[in-house]
Amino acid sequence: MAVPGAAEAVGALSAIAVDAGVERLVLLSGRGEEDGWPTEEAVRHCGAARTILRSSWFSQNFSKSFMLDSILDGEVALPTGNVTEPFLDADDLADAAVEALTDRSHEGRTYELAGPRLMTFGDAVDDIAKASGRVATFEPVTTERFAAGLAKQAVPPELVDFLTHSFTKVLDGRNSHLTGDLERILGRPGRDFRDYAQATAATGIWSGR
**Which residues, listed in sequence order, are joined to residue 77 by a DSSP beta bridge?**
139
C-alpha to C-alpha distance for 209 and 199, rounded to whole angstroms: 16
pLDDT for 168 equals 81
**How many CB atoms within 10 Å of residue 165?**
15
pLDDT for 139 equals 95
C-alpha to C-alpha distance for 42 and 50, rounded to whole angstroms: 11
Q: Look up the pTM and report it.
A: 0.92
pLDDT of residue 209 exceeding 80, the answer is no
Fold of 6-207: Rossmann fold (3.40.50)
C-alpha to C-alpha distance for 119 and 115, rounded to whole angstroms: 10
Amino acid identity of 8? E
pLDDT over 90 percentage in the chain: 80
pLDDT for 208 equals 73
Write the DSSP symbol of residue 191: P
pLDDT for 151 equals 87
**Which residues, listed in sequence order, are joined to residue 84 by a DSSP beta bridge?**
120
pLDDT for 128 equals 98
pLDDT for 164 equals 87
| Band of pLDDT at residue 98, cut at 50, 70 and 90 | very high
Average pLDDT of 119-141? 97
Q: What is the pLDDT of residues 153-197, one digit of tens each?
A: 888 888 888 888 888 888 899 999 999 999 999 999 999 999 999
Average pLDDT of 122-139? 97
- Among 26-30, 95-99, 139-143, 147-151, name the one with the lowest average pLDDT: 147-151
pLDDT for 65 equals 77
Q: Which residues, 6+ apart, have CB-to-CB distance to 204 below 8 Å?
A: none
Domain ranges of the chain: 6-207
Q: Which residue has the higher pLDDT, 5 or 4?
A: 5
Average pLDDT of 60-69? 90
**How many CB atoms within 10 Å of residue 19?**
10
| Band of pLDDT at residue 132, cut at 50, 70 and 90 | very high
Q: What is the pLDDT of residues 18-54, one digit of tens each?
A: 999 999 999 999 999 898 999 999 999 999 999 999 9
C-alpha to C-alpha distance for 63 and 58, rounded to whole angstroms: 10
Average pLDDT of 198-207? 96
